Amino acid sequence: MKKSPAIIVPKKKKKRLGVLFILLPVILLLVLVPLACAAVYFYFSYNLPRLSSLNDYRPPLVTEVYSRSGELIGEFFIERRYFVKLSNVSPVFIKAIVAAEDAQFFEHKGLNYWSISRAAFKNLLSLEMKQGGSTITQQITKSLLLTPEKSLARKIKEAILAKRIETSLTKNDILALYLNQIYFGLGAYGVESAARTYFGKSAAQLNLSEAALLAGLPKAPSLYSPFRNMERARQRQSYVLERMLEQKYITAQEKQEAEKAPLHMKLQENINLTQSPYFTEFVRQTIEKKYGSKAVYEDGLRIETTLDTAMERAAQEAIQTGLEEYEKREKTVHDPVKAQAALVCMDPFSGNILAMVGGRDFSNTQFNRAVQAQRQPGSAFKPLIYAAALDKGYTPASIIVDSPVTFKISRNKVWEPKNYDETYLGPITLRKALTLSRNVATVKILQDIGISYAIAYAKNFGITTALNRDLSLALGTANLSLLDLVQAYAVFCAHGVRVEPCAITRIVDRDGNVLEENVPQLRQAVNPQTAYLMTSLLQSVVEEGTGKKVSAINRPCAGKTGTTNDFRDAWFIGFTPQLVTGAWVGYDDNRSLGKRETGGAVAAPIWLKFMQKVLKDEPVKMFEVPEGIVFVKINPETGYLPNTATEETIFECFKEGTTPMPYFNSAQEQ
């Protein structure tokens, strides 16, 4: 059989094929690896979140509430974080955090390949993702842009984003993000919050010892907390100081001094409970209703309010003292059910709420009795009936017969209103009827002017609550809040002008944009002459009537007491030419305060103590008399001008054109 001829490959061609077989894998490697890397990059970078500037950084920030003098009085937050510029952070803290978390931060471009290799080797040995070798930039991407899961996919995304951030932001920008984002424990997010929480100071005020301790916390905030284990916290502090020494940020002597330096820890108090809790909560509810809860808890608003902190403290003290005196008097000191009290002070001309206390202890109950409680005002409502009468033809000298009266309610039911002392004075002037708070006389006035007219008139004072359409309205049987009554009495003080109560003057967002700026909302409720006549009538209540206890203020003052059936509610609403204030005392379960615990006995002392304190250094002012008011002498028994020179007389004020005529009886006419 004939064999096929053998194929003979030339030696040169053999050499070329050998080289090709050697180079092919290398070529494939050089081509495929970049392609694979590119594929991985595009796969994991697809649809990644973007952070191209500091303006894109919008973390939840603390909403802060300030008094009218700029004092911080409240905070609302989910994460306690205050955004701080890098220039407002202590330089020594910046060095401490860099040394502790990423010593090569200023040299690398987002990734520290040596740290990554070291972490990868340890993870390979343990077959777990235990270490990450993350730089500060990578920590930002994990915290701001990615989920905290430990996986290779997340690490790849983290690396891609870190490189992107390094190309779009400066190192200082990255540090600013990091220092505002990291968690330090105890609810403190960011370095400013941490400095306040642990040391009661700003981030700019941190010294080396404090900075090193705080810089050691992000690693494990709970583990290294100085409030849980000071020894362990000190050990971590020493580690940070050692790292700072290695980086030549500090000297050996500075390290030793910092380790020995005393740490004055000052855990941040809950300012919402210690300053003006009822007012602050009132503000929170107002803002949340208007802007939503996200704005309140995350948007870092600056809320500027009308609160006067000195007045607020005076109100808290007055309530505490007043309730203690009541409890000693009634021997209820050890009673588990405590009487409550509320106080509101308002500027009658601007509507600014200067003080608001809604109870004796906010930590025990957050129910705000100054605005949320709807209680019967009793005789404290009478001034609105008398004001309505003055605009219906009555004068302070009008005669009302204080005598028993019976009203038929239904076929088998009658109503017989009675005076507090169950006595009757017969014919008396309108001034005397209000001064002595005569119930029957007030009911007769309401019957004469008309219930519908009185209800419509009350709306001029800002009363929006539905009022009962029966004659008991004269005795204050409608349910109103303390703020309602304070607003109403402010009309008398402000020459008949009604102003809406205001707690917030300005709201600014995190970018400095003004969301709202409030100015007084004014409208003429009644004419100035009616307002003055009512002020004069209410001065008589203080000088010689049921509110006589507050005459100890020793300056012009007007007001009215209020007491409901069975002494369930005690009120005093009063004003000076500068301020209008209301005080209420009662039990939440509507039980009796005790026999003879009237508005004059329980609420007036609280009002007096408060007003004496806040007006102590204020000049004494007189109530202004508007044009259209005249003063003439009248007989206080008849309400008429005197007929003889020997008659007892007093000066009475009237609107021009309403002064009475001389009194002539039938005997004189003959």
Residue carrying the six token digits 């021997």: 331
> Cα separation of 569 and 375, whole Å?
8
Q: Is residue 103 part of a domain?
A: yes
Prediction pTM value: 0.87
Q: Which of 553, 596, 595, 601 is nearest to 574 (CA)?
A: 553
| Residue ranges with strand state E in 418-547 | 426-429, 497-499, 504-508, 514-517, 522-524
> 571: which 2 tokens?
């009120």
548 in a domain, yes or no?
A: no
Q: How confident is the model at residue 21, as a pLDDT?
A: 62
- Asked if residue 274 is part of any domain, the answer here is no
Element (H, E) at 242: helix 230-246
According to DSSP, residue 567 is labeled: G
* Number of C-beta neighbours around residue 590 at 10 A: 12
DSSP bridge partners of 573: 560, 582
Of 210, 242, 260, the position where a domain reaches its end is 260
Q: Could you tell me how many residues make up the chain?
A: 670
Q: Which of 237, 260, 283 is the last residue of a domain?
A: 260
The secondary element (H helix, E strand) that includes residue 560 is: strand 558-563
In a domain, residue 615? The reply is: no
User: Is 293 inside any structural domain?
Assistant: no
The CATH number of residue 132's host domain is 1.10.3810.10
Low-confidence ranges of the chain (pLDDT < 50): 1, 40-44, 120-121, 123-124, 126-127, 129-132, 666-670
Write out the residue range of the structural domain in which residue 636 sits. Answer: 629-669
Residue 388 sits in the same domain as residue 243: no
Using only C-alpha atoms, what is the Rg of the chain?
39
State yes or no: is 379 an active-site residue. yes
- CATH number of residue 397's parent domain: 3.40.710.10
Catalytic pick from 64, 67, 90, 101?
101
Cβ neighbors of 14 (< 8 A, separation 6 or more) are: none
Domain membership of residue 426 (yes or no) is yes
Whole-number Å distance between alpha carbons of 74 and 284: 9
Cα(179)–Cα(84) distance, integer angstroms: 8
Q: Which two tokens stand for residue 579?
A: 């301020």
Has residue 19 been placed in a domain? Answer: no
- 101 has catalytic annotation: yes
Q: Is residue 460 part of a domain?
A: yes
Domain count, the chain: 3
The domain boundary, picked from 208, 243, 260, lies at: 260
Are residues 660 and 641 in contact, defined by beta-carbon separation less than 8 angstroms? yes
Q: What is the pLDDT of residues 63-121, one digit of tens each?
A: 999 999 999 999 999 999 999 999 999 999 999 999 999 888 888 775 655 555 555 44
Q: How far apart are CA 223 and CA 219, in angstroms?
A: 9
